[in-house]
Structure 1
Amino acid sequence: MIPVRLFLASLLCLTLGVSNAFAHDLWLNTTAVDSKTVRVEIGYGHDFPNPEPISEKRLGLFTTPKLITPQGEVALKQSGENYSYTADFALQSGSYLAVGNYKPTFWTNGHGGWEMNNRTQRPDAKYCELVSMHTKNIWSVGGDTSTELISKPVNAKMEFIPLVHPSTVKPGQKFPVKILVNGKPASTVEVKATFAGFSDEDCYAFTGRTNLEGVINIIPLKAGHWFAITKHTENHNDLKVCDETIYVSTLTFQINE
């Protein structure tokens, strides 16, 4: 007989592994090159947290990432691999946010698979969705645990709002976050989370749903680099153009021992 826990874990992997043929995860990595240079990398794929070159045909789908600091926003410029951006910035103790976006993009499915267009461009499409993605990376320097900056909304269509600093959360403890859609609490949306090295398949170490106030307690069971994702789907505002509008939001953060 298959142990119940093993069976449920397998079922979770199979269920959560169902995704659109074109789907990729989106995240950001933030690191210090030295005391005066910061690097932000766009991760787009299925090998979190490892970035990979973005295909030329999709490179234009991404905005230039932003680094939000206690002193204000720092401009980043592309440097090295096409997913890598740097800024000259004298690092100080504090908490920072790197934010990025996958621009709203139409996708249709039909005979021949997925194409980057809408129903007016592909009248025989069986399905159409307008997808946008937003991502945040929380980065703490010098052991800072302040939430003033990281808990402020950045006016994305859908976003995670940490209610405590992840650096204060130990493995097995609760990490409360609020999910906003168009600035309002997103109730009963599914949230999934995993950590680097957990699985090379579409499996997650945590899954749950927000309450009516849009809040959920993510429970990171292990120290490491974590990735959380959520999605909201609604009818597109013009069904002659597309069927659904989909907002995806991700958050990456570090959990310490």
Structure 2
Amino acid sequence: MKYQLITISLSTLLMTSIASAHDVWLTAKPISDRIIAEIGYGHDFPSKGRLPNRQDYFVLPRITTEQGSEPLESTETDYVYEYKQHLKNTENFIISTNMKPMFWSRTKKGWRPLDKQQAEQASYCQFSVKFAKTIVSDGNLKLDSYIFKPIGQELEIVPINNIFSNNEQVDLFQVFYRGKPLSHSQVEIDSAEYIKNSHNHSHSHAANNESKHPPHTAEYSVTSNNDGIISIKHLPAGEWMLLTKYKQPFENREQCDESVAVATLSFKR
């Protein structure tokens, strides 16, 4: 899979905080004759992102239905996108995006969006790419079959039973990496209510770009089995986000230390 790396101006470099410390998620809902989607970027799911000048960080979101996949359009509001075309079926659909890959190196002056060859005296480098997906349903007991299949993200969480139905006893999800089930993958699961209560704190970004956030403990944490499947007691009504990571050594260790993929799946039931 080929990626477009982000290029950042010097002024942005000096002002930005470490992106690897921020989660990325999506929310979406039909409004009148269109669908509105918002990219979340930070720690306060399900709110949309607030940091300015981040439009170029993200790939244009796409909507996936039984008919295929189409891009959304940008709006005048940062992190907000819309789909104006008429859908034959708006009972359920998927919105997806990803944050463009970036190098992040830790230096004496803090984190910088550079690899180890570009950054001065870097002690650690991470090549990071983040994927986000949200599934929207009107609560219909029957979901279209494509909902239960990967849409092609490098790292992806896919439901394998109807997460919107009150008839289910457990929720089942499967983690995929490059199209294959990923075993022994830790998946964190948080509700919006839990995040609001546990993240009721102030945080700041110091002058050296060190992000000051208390450690996060997930509401639930589950590890996938040999088939990449996780099982959890049926989640109550609310807004939910699942997050998983996959780390591996970077192919050129002189350039960077690790390659890290992060994926989120969000939904409301």
**Match of 1:31, as an amino acid?**
K
8 Å CA contact retained: 2:34, 2:82: yes
Structure 1: distance between partners of 2:84 and 2:71: 9
Q: TM-score, normalised by structure 1?
A: 0.84
2:264 to 238, 250, 254: 250
Q: Give CA-to-partner distance per residue, 1:42-100, whole Å, 9 cap, x none.
A: 011111111133421x3211101001112222331111311000111334343210001
* Aligned counterpart in structure 2 of residue 87 of structure 1, from 83, 88, 111: 83
* Cα deviation 1:231-252 (Å, max 9, x = unaligned): 0100001101100000100000
1:230 aligns with 2:252: no
4+ runs deviating over 4 angstroms = none
Question: Does the CA-based 8 Å contact 1:96-1:139 persist in structure 2?
Answer: yes
CA contact (8 A) 1:93 1:144 kept: no
Determine if contact 1:24/1:46 at 8 Å carries over to the other structure: yes
Q: Which runs of 5 or more structure 1 residues have no equivalent in the other structure?
A: 1-19
RMSD of aligned alpha carbons = 1.9
1:112 is displaced (CA, Å) by 1.1
The answer to which of 45-54 and 207-216 deviates more is 45-54
Instruction: Name the counterpart of 1:196.
Output: 192
CA contact (8 A) 1:53 1:81 kept: no
Question: Helix, strand or coil for the counterpart of 1:192?
Answer: strand
How many Å apart are 1:221 and its aligned residue? Answer: 4.3
Aligned pairs for 1:31-70 within 5 A:
31-34=29-32, 36-56=33-53, 58-70=54-66
- Are the structure 2 counterparts of residues 224 and 236 from structure 1 closer, same or farther at C-alpha, using a change threshold of 3 Å? same
| Partners of 1:145 and 1:131 in 2: CA distance | 36
Where does residue 118 of structure 1 map in the other structure?
A: 115
1:132 is paired with a residue whose SS is strand
Does 2:100 match 1:103? Answer: yes
Secondary structure of 1:168's counterpart equals coil
Q: 1:21 to 1:135 in 2, by over 3 A?
A: closer
Corresponding residue pairs, total = 233
Q: TM-score, normalised by structure 2?
A: 0.81
Q: Distance between the aligned counterparts of 1:205 and 1:170, measured in 2?
A: 23
Q: Distance in 2 between matches of 1:175 and 1:248?
A: 21
Contact 1:147–1:164 at 8 Å: present in 2 too?
A: no
Distance 1:74 1:118, change over 3 A: same
Residue 227 (structure 1) shift = 0.5
- Residue 108 (structure 1) shift: 0.4
Q: Which amino acid aligns with 2:230?
A: I
Is residue 92 of structure 2 the alignment partner of residue 78 of structure 1? no
Separation in 2 of the partners of 1:235 and 1:112? Answer: 24
SS of 2:176's partner is strand
Question: Compared with structure 1, are the counterparts of its residues 186 and 243 closer, same or farther at alpha carbon in structure 2 (3 Å cutoff)?
Answer: same
Identify the residue that residue 218 of structure 1 maps to in structure 2.
Answer: 232
Where do 5+ consecutive residues of structure 2 fail to align?
A: 1-17, 200-215
Structure 1 pair 107–166 and aligned structure 2 pair: CA distance change class (3 A):
same
- 1:29 alignment counterpart: 27
Q: Distance in 2 between matches of 1:72 and 1:231?
A: 27
Quote the offset at 1:204 in angstroms: 2.1
Name the amino acid aligned to 2:249: N
- Give the match's secondary structure for 1:166: coil
Does the CA contact (< 8 Å) of 1:164 and 1:175 recur in 2? Answer: yes
C-alpha deviation, 1:33, in angstroms: 1.6
Specify the code of the residue in structure 2 equivalent to 1:237. Answer: E
Equivalent residues of 2:139, 2:165 under 8 A apart: no
